[in-house]
């Protein structure tokens, strides 16, 4: 459970940093590139197995890591487009609702438990996601560019499911560094292209923000995988608790640190979130 706590705290820190990006007008792409480079470096530093590039290429998980590296960058941009065209609420609901994909995968592929209490908890978690994410002031247009939230929903779910399914039990840091390394290479290419087209200079203040984002980004993935690899735990349980706890804690942090307005529906969502966590955990 301690791994899950650290994963939730790290993911909430990502939320805080993205809020600070807006406040201090940080170039998001530049910070994201630094973030992936930092996360890649942490994976190398914490790896305790010999690193042979030729051997890594021939591992059973390398192609999956390459695909995930592309997905990390692609879904990030889809999330940004969804926020712009459909509203922040739609983007938040679509990305958080995706927890149902790894949950269903765990139940049907890995034959995980389906007792009534757990299923009620999962259903309540989805209700909590919607109620906590929706913001009355958002000009959300669900029917406009409907393909964007659909892609975000599927992409986020595929990332969670694939990271859990393909991650080797004994080489988690190396697996993660491979994903982040691929994402960093793609990000650098995008940055060079945008710099040539838009003449955007390097923003020095984006570097420390990107570094800290990389630290907590790596931590969120590393601790989540460690929690998923603990014996006698089920991925459907871990993913439900992880997603709903991040959502509830991020909402409360937004209230305390950024003075964000929380509606009655949001408070009800937080309440349902804690009930869902209790039901799924105790099951």
> For the segment 234-270, what is each residue's pLDDT rounded down to a tens digit?
999 999 999 999 988 988 988 888 888 888 988 999 9
CB of 29 within 8 A of CB of 191? Answer: yes
State the Cα–Cα distance between residues 195 and 209, nearest whole angstrom: 20
Q: Which two tokens stand for residue 200?
A: 């955007």
Ranges 74-78, 139-143, 163-167, 173-177: which has the least confidence:
139-143
- The two counts, helices (H) then strands (E), for the chain are 12, 0
DSSP-based helix, strand, coil % in the chain, nearest 5:
80, 0, 20
Ranges 138-147, 200-209, 251-260: which has the least confidence:
138-147
The residues, any chain, with a CB within 8 Å of residue 215's CB and separated by 6 or more, are: 38, 39, 42
SS3 for 177? helix
Nearest partner of 280 among 183, 272, 173, judged by Cα: 272
pLDDT at 7: 94
Q: 137 pLDDT exceeds 70? A: no
Q: 91 pLDDT exceeds 80? A: no
The 10s digit of each residue's pLDDT in 161-202 is 999 999 988 789 999 999 999 999 999 998 888 888 887 788
Q: 2 pLDDT exceeds 80? A: yes
Q: 141 pLDDT exceeds 60? A: no
Report, as an integer, the average pLDDT of 43-57: 84
pLDDT at 273: 92
Report, as an integer, the average pLDDT of 92-108: 89
Report, as an integer, the average pLDDT of 108-113: 90
Q: 50 pLDDT exceeds 90? A: no
């Amino acid at each position: 459970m301690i791994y899950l706590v650290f994963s939730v705290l790290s993911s909430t820190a990502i939320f805080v940093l993205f809020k600070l990006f807006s406040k201090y007008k940080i170039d998001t792409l530049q910070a994201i590139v630094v973030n992936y480079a930092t996360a890649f470096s942490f994976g190398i530093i914490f790896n305790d197995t010999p690193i042979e590039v030729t051997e890594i290429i021939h591992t059973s998980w390398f192609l999956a890591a390459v695909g995930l590296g592309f997905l990390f960058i692609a879904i990030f941009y889809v999330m940004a487009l969804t926020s712009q065209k459909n509203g922040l609420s739609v983007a938040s609901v679509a990305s958080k609702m995706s927890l149902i994909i790894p949950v269903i995968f765990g139940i049907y592929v890995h034959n995980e438990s389906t007792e009534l209490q757990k299923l009620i908890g999962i259903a309540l978690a989805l209700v909590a996601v919607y109620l906590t994410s929706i913001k009355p002031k958002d000009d959300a247009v669900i029917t406009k560019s409907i393909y964007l939230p659909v892609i975000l929903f599927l992409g986020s779910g595929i990332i969670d499911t694939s990271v859990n399914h393909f991650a080797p039990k004994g080489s988690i840091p190396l697996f993660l560094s491979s994903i982040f390394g691929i994402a960093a290479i793609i990000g650098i290419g995008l940055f060079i292209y945008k710099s040539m087209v838009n003449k955007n200079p390097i923003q020095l203040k984006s570097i420390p923000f990107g570094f800290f984002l990389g630290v907590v980004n790596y931590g969120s993935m590393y601790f989540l995988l460690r929690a998923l690899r603990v014996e006698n735990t089920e991925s459907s349980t871990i993913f439900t608790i992880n997603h709903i706890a991040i959502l509830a804690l991020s909402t409360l942090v937004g209230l305390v640190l950024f003075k964000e307005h929380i509606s009655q529906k949001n408070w009800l969502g937080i309440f349902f979130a804690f009930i869902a966590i209790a039901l799924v955990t105790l099951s």
